[in-house]
């Protein structure tokens, strides 16, 4: 089949979870002899906006459209007629059988309308967060607290934009219409699947489907610890407030333990620095095996309902236990006292107690049963998705 994968960003320019997963899924589909191409965005300030770049990246045909502006208006978060036009041209050129969407932020929601309505193409949509219902994507309100669901009034209070309630009402109605256009959703966590069903999406349109991983990229290690072992704690990912970075920094204050933080950060680093916290900078996912080799315990302290963090599953592939917040997809992956430890989300003392428990008795780590068997292989994932493509294709054509 001819598959078009649409995602807001793609390696090597973007290396967050949805982008990295999309890359490995496309690679696996190509190995299964599917014809897959990628439509995505890029930010290049040295060229004209909406310039098209056609390239082959690690054997993948990718078309990137240049969109380097980030000073969005509210409407710009959803609509971009220039990207819509480029997408139409690409559809005419590639003539796909199925379009598989990921995130549409930084592209245009019009792409889904164009594929489903103008070209009558079957559509699959992998849900990476709450963006189809929440402009921020993470259901975190203006006070940094978790939101239990969208409404025009709540979104108006929460919005960082100068916007009216009526405009929000129109957008929410429009976005709900887009959701109805999708033939089938893939949710990598029960947290996201349940949320979409609660929003009125039919259960038979939302499939639970865990992320797949190329297990050959990461070497499993089976460390043994003594009472004297100095434990290397680490955080990996985007350094933003919703990831729980502040409570993580505070938890390591005045304790005899070292924390390494892998991720890009600017001058704000000075507000998070402690003498026992070391900022290692960003990392390329292709080098993740080397990064994980130096970590004894990974900490994932997010305050939002993370979908299905890749870093947790990558840690398991390396035999590394995880301390995580007891909410969302994190709680689905980490079983307390089995492959890691859970703490009360947003509670600094609860996290600190977890860390100190390990520092004071490293032998606890020997009792854990971290296994790479709980992580799905990318080939199995690709075969499942391949079957999904065929189902929506035949259903779309009433075969």
Longest Cα separation, the chain: 66
CATH 3.40.50.2000 domain residues, the chain: 2-209+377-396, 215-368
Query: What pLDDT score was predicted for residue 284?
Result: 77
Cβ(393)–Cβ(122) under 8 Å?
yes
Cβ(206)–Cβ(185) under 8 Å?
yes
In the numeric block, which tokens belong to residue 98?
A: 């199925």
Which residue from 334, 316, 322, 329 is spatially nearest to 371, judged by alpha carbons? 316
Specify which of 72-76, 214-218, 395-399 reaches the highest per-range mean pLDDT: 214-218
Find the mean pLDDT for residues 363-388. Answer: 94
Is 361's pLDDT higher than 80? yes
Cβ(257)–Cβ(385) under 8 Å?
no
Find the mean pLDDT for residues 170-185. Answer: 91
pTM of the model: 0.90
CATH 3.40.50.2000 fits 215-368, yes or no: yes
What is the rounded CA–CA span in Å between residue 391 and residue 382? 14
Confidence of residue 399 (pLDDT cuts 50, 70, 90): low
> pLDDT tens-digit profile of 4-26?
999 999 999 887 888 999 999 99
> pLDDT tens-digit profile of 82-98?
999 999 999 999 999 99
Query: What pLDDT score was predicted for residue 319?
Result: 95
State the CB neighbour count (10 A cutoff) for residue 107.
Answer: 26
SS3 72: coil
Is 71's pLDDT higher than 70? no
Indicate the CATH number for domain 2-209+377-396.
Answer: 3.40.50.2000
Confidence of residue 274 (pLDDT cuts 50, 70, 90): confident
């Amino acid at each position: 089949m001819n598959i078009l994968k649409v995602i807001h960003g793609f390696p090597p320019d973007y290396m967050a979870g949805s982008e990295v997963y999309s890359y490995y899924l496309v690679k696996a589909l190509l190995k299964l002899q599917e014809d897959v191409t990628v439509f995505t965005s890029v930010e290049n300030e040295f060229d004209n906006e909406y310039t098209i770049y056609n390239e082959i990246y690690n054997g993948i045909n990718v078309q990137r459209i240049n969109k380097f502006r980030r000073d969005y208006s509210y409407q710009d978060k959803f609509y971009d007629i220039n990207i819509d036009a480029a997408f139409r041209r690409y559809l005419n050129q590639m003539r796909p059988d199925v379009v598989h969407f990921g995130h549409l932020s930084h592209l245009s929601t019009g792409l889904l309308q164009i594929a489903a309505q103008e070209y009558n193409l079957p559509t699959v949509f992998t849900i990476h967060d709450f963006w189809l219902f929440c402009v921020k994507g993470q259901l975190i309100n203006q006070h940094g607290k978790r939101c239990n669901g969208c409404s025009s009034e709540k979104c108006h209070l929460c919005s960082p934009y100068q916007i009216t309630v009526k405009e929000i009402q129109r957008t929410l109605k429009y976005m709900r219409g887009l959701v109805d256009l999708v033939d089938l959703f893939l949710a990598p966590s029960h947290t996201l699947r349940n949320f979409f069903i609660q929003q009125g999406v039919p259960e038979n349109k939302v499939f639970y489907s865990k992320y797949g991983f190329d297990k050959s990229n990461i070497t499993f290690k089976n460390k043994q610890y003594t009472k004297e072992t100095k434990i290397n704690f680490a955080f990996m990912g985007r350094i933003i407030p919703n990831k729980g970075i502040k409570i993580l920094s505070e938890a390591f204050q005045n304790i005899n333990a070292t924390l390494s933080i892998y991720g890009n950060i600017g001058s704000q680093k000075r507000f998070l620095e402690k003498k026992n916290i070391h900022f290692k900078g960003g990392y390329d996912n292709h080098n993740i095996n080397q990064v994980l080799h130096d970590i004894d315990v990974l900490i994932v302290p997010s305050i939002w309902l993370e979908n299905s963090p890749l870093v947790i599953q990558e840690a398991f592939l390396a035999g590394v236990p995880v301390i995580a917040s007891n909410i969302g997809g994190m709680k689905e992956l980490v079983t307390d006292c089995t492959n890691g430890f859970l703490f009360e989300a947003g509670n600094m003392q609860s996290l600190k107690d977890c860390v100190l428990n390990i520092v004071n008795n490293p032998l606890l780590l020997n009792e854990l049963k971290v296994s790479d068997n709980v992580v799905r292989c990318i080939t199995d994932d690709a075969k499942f998705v391949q079957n999904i493509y065929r189902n929506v294709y035949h259903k779309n054509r009433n075969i």
